Amino acid sequence: MARKYFGTDGVRGKVGEFPITPDFVMKLGWAAGKVLSKKGTKKVLIGKDTRISGYMLEAALEAGLSAAGLKATLLGPMPTPAVAYLTRTFRAEAGIVISASHNPFYDNGIKFFSADGTKLPDEVEEAIEDMLDHDLECVESALLGKAVRIDDAAGRYIEFCKSTFPSLLNLDGLRLVVDCGHGATYHIAPSVFRELGAEVIAIGCEPNGLNINDGVGSTAPDALAAKVLECKADLGIAFDGDGDRVVMVDSTGYIIDGDEILYIIARDALRNGRLKGGVVGTLMANMGLELALQTLGIPFARAKVGDRYVLEMMEQKGWRIGGENSGHIICLDQTTTGDGIVAALQVLGAMRAAEMPLSKLRSGMSKFPQILINVRYGEGQDPLSCQAVHDEVSKVEQELAGRGRVLLRKSGTEPLIRVMVEGEHEEQVRSMAQRIAEQVKSAI
């Protein structure tokens, strides 16, 4: 079934343009309420990141849910994985997150969690889309849903995060720089690490509604690297706007991405006997990760890009560790979805257990140079169908001779063609990626 509204991660777009308008989001809340209301609690949790548009969209969702006869339980600014966790603990019908994750402030989106704290299956999203084609019908006045606010939501989630760190270990003596990207973790992440004993230097913790992901956070880790060096910190941790992604920086200023985080977590799980199966990455995962895991005897599989596809493959295989090189890490032994704070805590736990600095802990994996170029395209255009693009890809693959990869794909969240070339020699790889990107641009 072709999707009209849902992408790879909910409904997303520019605020004020369809479908991120107050009227549509109100109806989306109503439609979701009608489809998801099964447990009888009539309770739906709503969390949001720090974008200014969150106030407007929260009110619209509240109205739609009320019209469907459901209670809106408002969490305020809250990381996406916190909403997943709290949806389970409150026994709610569903959880809703108002966020566009790593995108600029003028974008926003609506994504949903089931009562189990997992992303909605395709068939449920399709049922919501089908309900959107019906006229909105308000329940009788006596059956309208109320709205309540949970004041201790942040504290509950902080305690959960701390519970995922090994109970016999602590972070005493560690100096950490924590960059929250002016996003939803700003009032949570620093407290988690401080309460476990670390000295925390916080940056990106002053959201104003417009500065989310602006020059800070996991999408701009150079700011974190500079602060780590300036403060002579042991390491740095950066989250994206809604807290489901993390990148780290060691004491030398080296930026550690999701592939290296996966390697560290998997190797630690193997060392202490907790590894179940292997590791799921994506088509974008670096060949260096695959080779490093192979050396350890850990199986590795690639899913399509998108955390929902990583999770699907993890569940199919019964594996517990997976993620994307963007820093979206899923540890199913700990929680049900990608969680930046939880993933960072697993790395810190591995550091403490091995008594190694982060720079040494990551040294078992060597990344291949990987060049990614984004090419924006317009509505109705399909540059990937151009024969000249395919011909150039074939030429590059022949030149790589099996010692690298080429990947072209459309972004699931933005009108971008992502051109990725990976190989042993950076200058060669960069030139190849630019050649393919030029062909894509010529096809637009």
Alpha helices in 331-425 (DSSP H): 340-354, 358-361, 387-400
3-state secondary structure of 71: strand
> Is 101 part of any known ligand binding site?
yes
- pLDDT > 70: percent of the chain: 100
**Which CATH number, 3.90.1010.20, 3.40.120.10, 3.40.50.720, 3.90.110.10, labels domain 11-151?**
3.40.120.10
Q: Which CATH superfamily is domain 257-367 in?
A: Alpha-D-Glucose-1,6-Bisphosphate, subunit A, domain 3 (3.40.120.10)
| Catalytic positions | 101
Taking only the tens place, the pLDDT of each residue in 251-287 is 999 999 999 999 999 999 999 999 999 999 999 899 9
User: First and final CA of the chain: distance in angstroms?
Assistant: 27
Query: Does the annotation flag 242 for ligand binding?
Result: yes
Annotated binding residue 431: no
Position 1 pLDDT exceeds 80: no
CATH architecture for segment(s) 172-255: 3-Layer(aba) Sandwich (3.40)
Q: Which pLDDT tens digit goes with each residue over 338-387? A: 999 999 999 999 999 999 999 999 999 999 999 999 999 998 899 999 99
pTM: 0.91
Cβ atoms 250, 256 nearer than 8 A = yes
- Domain extents in the chain: 11-151, 172-255, 257-367, 370-443
Give domain 370-443's CATH superfamily: Alpha-D-phosphohexomutase, C-terminal domain (3.30.310.50)
**Predicted confidence (pLDDT) at residue 226 exceeds the cutoff of 90:** yes
Q: How far apart are CA 347 and CA 351, in angstroms?
A: 6
E strands in 88-179: 94-98, 107-113, 147-149, 175-179
Q: Is-same-fold flag (11-151; 172-255)?
A: yes
**What mean pLDDT value characterizes the chain?**
95
Question: How high is the pLDDT of residue 2?
Answer: 65
